[in-house]
Amino acid sequence: MIIAVDGPVAAGKGTLARRIAEKYGFHYLDTGALYRAVGLLMLKEGQDLSDVEAAANMAARVGEVSPEDPGLREESTGGAASIVANNSEVRAALLQYQRNFAHRKPGTVLDGRDIGTVVCPEAEVKLFITATAEIRARRRFDELIAKGNSVSYHDILADLKIRDARDQGRTTAPLKKAIDAHLLDTSKLDIEAALNAASVLIDNRLG
């Protein structure tokens, strides 16, 4: 079984996808981390984020970045990832990796922006996780403050809206809800409630 979990930044899709994978014993892939790895490599090597060829070359090197690298979760990396994700050559370079992962047994959970629409349109369960921009910004703000960062809620909200517009407006694999995806608004849900709602859909599909 393939479970596709899509949605905008800070909607809670990553946390939910990990919990789903743990509950059902499935493999989990944070596809956003692949784009973050490309962005991080670009930043570390001082590359122009708009350089199509350089970004495509970095996409072939994502394996060099450890999933535990703290740099992957920096706000600057997230911004860089949003820019390189607009690069059709980068997306093409990472597409087959994601599709190969998706067919691991006994099942997989992939979260990102275009899993249900482009990467795995054949996924048996598709979830589109969302929340209001204000709530998503508040979650990100609280997360960063808890880590000791000095940040502004208003700056985070503004950046989040820019990233939303960029993700939704790109010509290649834009962020959008698949026609057959289940919409799950987490604005007023904690992780347990969101997991319960998702589990009902998954259990129904499993029979």
Known binding-site residues for ATP equal: 7-15
Task: Please write down the HEC assignment for all residues of the chain.
Answer: CEEEEECCCCCCHHHHHHHHHHHHCCEEEEHHHHHHHHHHHHHHCCCCCCCHHHHHHHHCCHHHCCCCCHHHHCHHHHHHHHHHCCCHHHHHHHHHHHHHHHCCCCCEEEEECCHHHHHCCCCCEEEEEECCHHHHHHHHHHHHHHCCCCCCHHHHHHHHHHHHHHHHHCCCCCCCCCCCCEEEECCCCCHHHHHHHHHHHHHHHHC
Whether 105 and 1 have beta carbons less than 8 Å apart is answered as no
Q: Which residues are annotated as a binding site?
A: 7-15
Residues 6+ apart with CB under 8 A from 103: 2
